[in-house]
Structure 1
Amino acid sequence: MKNTNVIPIQKIPSMLENDYQFVDLRDPYEYKKVHLTKFTNIPYEKFNLNQYYFSKKEPLILICYSGAKSKKLADDLCQQGYDAYSIEGGFYSILHQKT
């Protein structure tokens, strides 16, 4: 069964043209070194729905280093009624993408 809340990295450029909610779950050090525009840094360990507001009406796009933490969090958020997605392979796949 294919999971529908995982987005291939090839779709990132077109997604960035939208006003979605973008969250980078990596640690601040990695985020400061390199990150994608529009992505806000909220480290996975500090992600808390009570502290940050996210609309259930707009897609929430998550990225972490490998895709594992963002996938788990997207699954959890979907169960809570959010339209949440994880970038397949995470930031690692972007850095090692073949051109």
Structure 2
Amino acid sequence: MRETTIDQLAAVLDQGAAVVDVREPAEFREGHVPGAINIPMGQLFARLGEIDRNRSVHMVCASGNRSSAMTDALAASGFDAVNVVGGTNAWIRSGRPIEK
């Protein structure tokens, strides 16, 4: 599984990186990485058409556990998926901005 840090994510966000947040909608509404789209883990496979297969997709959750499992699943389905280590909690702890 490919992994990235929040510092690396911040750098590629400026270049328009795709970010999928697999947390539940209530968690997502409380604050998320800017530009992330919310596709809860339980809905991911039903909504694969919303993810561009032609570019890397950075997977995020609260701490990196759920996104790690979904990164593996997407990679097995042919996506260039990257897990964000530490997830949204690490993003927030770093002092980076969030969207609500």
TM-score (norm 2): 0.81
The AA in structure 1 aligned to 2:72 is: D
- 2:47 aligned to which of 41, 48, 51: 51
In 1, Cα distance between the equivalents of 2:8 and 2:53? 21
Query: Are residues 1:31 and 2:35 paired?
Result: no
Per the TM alignment, residue 51 of structure 1 is displaced from its structure 2 partner at its CA by 2.9
In 2, Cα distance between the equivalents of 1:75 and 1:11? 19
In 1, Cα distance between the equivalents of 2:34 and 2:47? 22
Count the aligned residue pairs. 95
Give 5+ residue unaligned stretches, structure 1.
none
Q: 1:97 to 1:45 in 2, by over 3 A?
A: same
Deviation string for 1:59-87 (max 9, x for gaps)?
A: 01110011011111111211222100111
Give 5+ residue unaligned stretches, structure 2.
96-100
Pairing of 1:3-82 with structure 2 (within 5 A) = 3=1, 5-48=2-45, 50-53=46-49, 54-82=51-79
In 1, Cα distance between the equivalents of 2:14 and 2:90? 20
Contact kept, 8 Å, 2:23 with 2:40, in 1: the verdict is yes
Per the TM alignment, residue 55 of structure 1 is displaced from its structure 2 partner at its CA by 2.5
Higher relative contact order (CA 8 A, sep 6+): 2
Per the TM alignment, residue 37 of structure 1 is displaced from its structure 2 partner at its CA by 1.4
Q: CA RMSD for the aligned pairs?
A: 2.0
When Rg is computed on C-alpha atoms for both structures, the one with the higher figure is 1
The AA in structure 1 aligned to 2:84 is: I
Instruction: Give 4+ residue runs of structure 1 displaced > 3 Å after superposition.
Output: none
- 1:85 aligned to which of 76, 82, 86: 82
More helix by share: 2
